[in-house]
Amino acid sequence: MTIKTFGVVGAGQMGNGIAQVAAMSGLDVIMNDIKTEFIEKGIANIAKNLSRNVEKEKMSEEEKESVLSRITASVELADMKTSDFVVEAATENEVLKLKIFQNLDEICPAHVILATNTSSIPIGRIAGATKRPEMIIGMHFMNPVPVMKLVEVIKGLATSEDTFNTTWELSTKFGKTPAVANDFPGFIANRILMPMINEAIFCLYQSVGTCEDIDTVMKLGMNHPMGPLALADLIGLDTCLSIMETLYDGFKDSKYRPCPLLRKYVETGWLGRKTGRGFYQYD
């Protein structure tokens, strides 16, 4: 089926990035969140990114305006009824995501694929909350979405080939390179990335090194574009903790236990860049 209108639930750092790449690919986008201020913040971020592209002469002012004009703000989930494909990018909270999927299942016509940008919640569990398990799929974008080339496409046990092919093609249309993963905790990306970040936090916890030294080792010694602690701050420490807990619960293997220091930071509200304080301090 032809996809013209693309729905995004959540206007946060992942949601607004997904809305941006979808609108840049020519689709009409409905970006939904629970509060107008969240949407306004999301649209302001997209406008800032597009303006940077104009400054770098990668895009004209007209193109920027045309991309922005394709994005419609919504504070009612019911607005998703006109979408041809929906991706959910709400907070990484299972209860919340299951509720959103139950509601989307009632709101959206039967032919509409409902994808989730979850970083670790099982696709099968989300599919089980709906009456269309064959049309539920993981479409996992990386942060910052406009820059990162990967979309991890996750097949649940019940995901149909049609759903998979449509999602794969859409990822390509967005200028991304998809990679397929099966439905195991953390899929591929976070099963590998998060234990590395968690281990970096253990190094800090056990005073093996300072934040700066740990990040320098990984940046200069392994050619990572940023150190694991700076990356944790970019992702959000609450998200990192929630992914580690999903890995630990899912595999029941102690190698995935979250570092106590990570939990302490999250309890203190030091969530990384978004709160101005994580392993580093931000303005």
What residues line the site for ligand CAA (CB under 6 A)?
49, 52, 56, 119, 142-144, 146-148, 189-190, 193, 225-226, 231, 235, 239
Pairing of strands 71-74, 28-32: parallel
Q: Is 150 helix (H, G, I), strand (E, B) or coil?
A: strand
Choosing from 16, 117, 119, 120, the catalytic residue is 119
140 in active site: yes
Listing DSSP states for 207-249 in one string gives: TSS-HHHHHHHHHHHH--SS-HHHHHHHH-HHHHHHHHHHHHH
What's the DSSP call for residue 86?
Answer: E
Q: How far is the CB of 226 from ligand CAA (least distance, A)?
A: 4
Choosing from 140, 171, 198, 242, the catalytic residue is 140
Q: Which pair of structure tokens corresponds to residue 70? A: 């394709």
190 in active site: yes
Residue pair 208/222 in contact by the 8 Å Cβ criterion: no
Q: How far is the CB of 131 from ligand CAA (least distance, A)?
A: 27
Q: How far is the CB of 48 from ligand CAA (least distance, A)?
A: 8
Distances (CA, A) of 87 to 67, 83, 188: 19, 10, 19
224 in active site: no
Indicate the residue among 1 and 220 with the shorter CB distance to ligand CAA. Answer: 220
Indicate the residue among 32 and 116 with the shorter CB distance to ligand CAA. Answer: 116
Q: How far is the CB of 174 from ligand CAA (least distance, A)?
A: 14
Residue pair 117/18 in contact by the 8 Å Cβ criterion: yes
What's the DSSP call for residue 174?
Answer: T
Residue nearest to ligand CAA (CB): 119
Indicate the residue among 82 and 93 with the shorter CB distance to ligand CAA. Answer: 93
Indicate the residue among 81 and 263 with the shorter CB distance to ligand CAA. Answer: 263
Choosing from 88, 152, 171, 242, the catalytic residue is 152
Q: How far is the CB of 47 from ligand CAA (least distance, A)?
A: 12
Phi, psi of 200 (to 5 degrees): -65, -40
**Interatomic CA distance for residues 245 and 256, integer angstroms:** 8
Chain-centroid distance of CA 281 in Å reads 23
**Interatomic CA distance for residues 86 and 210, integer angstroms:** 42
Indicate the residue among 127 and 194 with the shorter CB distance to ligand CAA. Answer: 194
Which residues participate in catalysis according to the annotation? Answer: 119, 140, 152, 190
